Amino acid sequence: MINTPQDKKEISKKLKERAIFEGFSLSGIASIPGSSRLKLRTNALDRWLSNNHHGEMKWMEAEKRKNISLLLEGAKSVLSVGFNYVSSENDNTHKSLKIGKFGQGDDYHKVIYKKLKNIGKWVNLEIPDCKWKICVDTSPLLEKAWAEESGLGWIGKNSNLISKKNGSWITLGFMILTEDLIPDKPHESLCGKCDKCIEYCPTKAIVEPFVIQSNLCIAYHTIESREKNFPLKIEKNLNGWVAGCDICQDICPWNKSVPHNNTFENNPKKWIKNLDINSLSWDDKTWEENLKSSTLKRIKPWMWRRNIKANLRNQSINK
């Protein structure tokens, strides 16, 4: 039982330290319902949805995404964590077929969930009366807004969360708690006048600062779109991308000196290192076996073939 302000301050500090101990690079706390910026972010989500910028991603329309209190009765605080997924081995510079850095290692949903589950066990011992719920990006949560509210970083013009230390090479996780904890200060935006992510996007998917039009985004088409063929504008700008796209992150000044996190979870899968034109001969069973512990199993075998073939057509035209 937390009885005094000093107890609350101490347990809040210990909770964030526990997150770092479990392997997260960033941790912070926000109070529920949060500051006025959460309302602004929710309104921005509504505008994005009303413009159909989410394409086929219908799960983004879930009403619970706009009200974190609906995810856990009695919710008072949220612990936000960031996991640095950039490794010294996942560079795409000289590859003809490229995969986004986020997807080269183990399934980050499982990695983050396991670490948060360990934190939950710690909470059960330290705050026995506290109920908690784990959320990753498959949960209906306004995740980047809550990470910003918790002081982890700020939402950049490419809509990614950016931190001073880890840039945008982070995946996010959350633990909603029924305990009233000491919140961190929401992070201020540090993008300034920089527009490099907007300038360098080959398909102009960042239609205005902070707004991504999904049907112009290479990552969206290679991962989410179930269409049999890519629009011509997408195909001619693939430049090797078969799963995701890191262009707007690679160009970001905040990503130039991010420390590598060379843990076993981030080691690129062997099949990813070996991905080439011969991968077109892999049957569905081979693909499914390769994708078993990968974030990229969302991309079905037929989609991998579509993505690879589109790149090969594009590369032959540009020779």
* Domain positions in the chain: 5-87+106-177, 196-317
Q: Can you give the pLDDT at residue 177? A: 98
Nearest to 213 by CA among 229, 231, 239, 228: 231
Q: Can you give the pLDDT at residue 175? A: 98
Q: Can you give the pLDDT at residue 63? A: 75
- Antiparallel, parallel or unpaired: β 77-84 and 154-155: unpaired
Q: Do 100 and 243 contact (CB within 8 A), yes or no?
A: yes
Q: Do 115 and 293 contact (CB within 8 A), yes or no?
A: no
Judge if the upstream peptide bond of residue 253 is cis by omega within 30 degrees of 0.
Answer: no
Q: Can you give the pLDDT at residue 316? A: 63
Check 46, 91, 106, 137 and give the catalytic one: 137
Q: Based on C-alpha coordinates, what's the Rg of the chain? A: 20
Angle, in degrees to the nearest 10, between helices 5-21 and 108-126 = 150
Q: Can you give the pLDDT at residue 36? A: 84
Q: Which residues pair with 78 in a beta bridge?
A: 30, 176
Q: Can you give the pLDDT at residue 202? A: 97
- For the chain, which ranges sit under pLDDT 50? none
User: Which pTM value belongs to this model?
Assistant: 0.92
Q: Can you give the pLDDT at residue 37? A: 84
Q: Can you give the pLDDT at residue 1? A: 57
* 256: Cβ contacts below 8 Å, ≥ 6 apart: 167
| Catalytic (active site) residue 91 | no
Sign, Cα dihedral of 22, 24, 28, 30: negative
Q: Can you give the pLDDT at residue 317? A: 60
For residues 315 and 319, give the distance between their C-alpha atoms in angstroms, rounded to a whole number: 6
Q: Helix, strand, or coil here: 31?
A: strand
